[in-house]
Amino acid sequence: MQQQDGSAGSVVVWRDDVLPASETFVAGQVGAMRRWHPVVAGLYRTPSVLDVRPELVLSPSARWAAPYRRWVRRSGRSRRLDALLRRPDVRVVHAHFGRDAQLVAPAAARARRPLVVTLHGYDVTQLPRHPRTGPAYRAGLRRLFDQAAAVVVVSDFVREQVLALGAHADRLVRLPTGIDPGPAAPPAPPVRRVLFVGRLVEKKGVADLLEAVAALPGDLRGTPVEICGDGPLREDLERRAAELGLTVEFRGHLTPAQLAATYRGGGVFCGPSRSSAAGDAEGLGTVFLEAAAAGLPVVSYRHGGVPEAVEDGVTGHLVPEGDVPALSRALGAVMADGAPAQEMGLAGRRMVERDFDLARQTARLEELYDRVAAGRPVAARR
């Protein structure tokens, strides 16, 4: 049903926290919609380098987010949210992450709007395993699976976790979010540099990265390392880098433009994601796609959904999770390879253009909106 403005209608894109700097994949998807009009809404707005402007936030600040979340959960209602979802132009509600979807699901049901849920990683690995809140969260997921018209998973790895949690197979759609590969550029220069992008948390494995660089042989040990991102482990990691005598620059959060320029600087991307003690695992890893799009060879662990973003031996090297000596050898091999390493970068670029192009992936998402808005069955898609 076409709207007066020519669009297919509005989709309310819900994220409790609008929008952390690390969630470029949500911002990119919102910006890439062409036929549907995205209306961003959430529980609260967080300062961020991402230019996403929500139309509705329930809490005046992050400080009040927890009381507002408790109120909405206990009462099951928010007049402002109900009013938004009942607007005539709003035809679909799309929530990112399992906990967020559980908060907005009752309002979507009251407004009789079909609900699409995207599950990314920690929401199906860590949260269900929490010793205190895990049982209630898992029960909430089962109710969510019964209500949702479609459950989008970003990888086969996430799909396996979701099925184990009780999702309905006929409503699952594998649809990686994708990235904008940008215009084709000359191959990344073969410089000696190790680049990491991501949150500084246990799951991202930055401590292993530092130990791997310290174990590099000979003159490779002095290879500079750039760490882009921030998080609770930053001070510990800065201290360990100093103890190891490494040349490491901690750059903090970068704007999308700064990050793009950093990728173009060349070198090797290393993101040794690993399971955290709490069970958090990588659902796919947007940064691996960003690095590949920039023509950088990638080194990582064989973990979670990472093998779906890094083709071992083709776009980079994957080694057993937690094997720091193997990680170090893989880094050394890439930096010593020259032309073969550059070919890995070119292969990564081709992979992103073929399998993860943002415009194409978002067009598929809009086709999914068409189906659920019309009440048609969800067809499995790879």
Average pLDDT, 10 consecutive residues per value, the chain (382 residues)? 70 94 92 97 86 88 78 77 96 98 95 98 95 96 98 98 97 96 78 95 98 94 95 98 97 92 94 96 96 96 98 98 98 88 94 98 98 88 50
- Residue ranges of alpha helices (H) inside the chain are 24-32, 65-75, 79-85, 98-110, 122-125, 134-147, 156-164, 206-214, 234-244, 256-264, 286-293, 324-337, 339-355, 358-373
- Residue 20 in any domain: the answer is yes
Tokens of 184: 């084709």
- Residue 45 in any domain: the answer is yes
| CATH code of 238's domain | 3.40.50.2000
- Single pTM value for the model: 0.92
253 and 114 in a common domain:
no
236 and 163 in a common domain:
no
Q: Is the distance from CB of 204 to CB of 271 less than 8 angstroms? A: yes
Domain that holds residue 278: 194-355
- Residue 47 in any domain: the answer is yes
Q: What is the pLDDT of residues 76-98, one digit of tens each?
A: 678 999 999 999 999 999 999 99
Q: Is the distance from CB of 262 to CB of 195 less than 8 angstroms? A: yes
pLDDT at 227: 98
* Residues contacting residue 189 through CB under 8 Å, at least 6 positions apart: 265, 266
- Give the span between the Cα atoms of 137 and 24, in whole angstroms: 26
Between β-strands 17-18 and 316-320, what pairing exists: parallel, antiparallel or unpaired? Answer: unpaired
The full 3-state SS of 334-352, as one line of letters, equals: HHHHCHHHHHHHHHHHHHH
Q: What is the pLDDT of residues 24-56, one digit of tens each?
A: 899 999 999 999 999 999 998 888 778 888 999
208 and 143 in a common domain:
no
329 and 201 in a common domain:
yes
- Residue 80 in any domain: the answer is yes
Q: Is the distance from CB of 264 to CB of 276 less than 8 angstroms? A: no
User: Measuring CA to CA, how many Å separate 6 from each of 10, 92, 162, 361?
Assistant: 11, 17, 36, 21
210 and 105 in a common domain:
no
- Residue 189 in any domain: the answer is no
112 and 59 in a common domain:
yes
Instruction: Name the phi and psi angles at 195, rounded to 5.
Output: -115, 135
- Residue 188 in any domain: the answer is no
260 and 111 in a common domain:
no
* Residues contacting residue 365 through CB under 8 Å, at least 6 positions apart: 29, 33, 152, 175
User: Measuring CA to CA, how many Å separate 108 from each of 80, 212, 368?
Assistant: 13, 48, 17
174 and 210 in a common domain:
no
Structural domains in the chain (count)? 2
Q: How many other CB atoms are found less than 10 A from the CB of residue 249?
A: 10
Q: What is the largest CA-CA distance in the chain?
A: 67
- Give the span between the Cα atoms of 97 and 85, in whole angstroms: 19
- How far from each other are the two terminal CA atoms of the chain, in whole angstroms? 26
367 and 315 in a common domain:
no
204 and 55 in a common domain:
no
362 and 349 in a common domain:
no
161 and 28 in a common domain:
yes
pLDDT at 228: 97
- Residue 3 in any domain: the answer is no
Report the SS3 class of residue 42.
strand
- Residue 186 in any domain: the answer is no
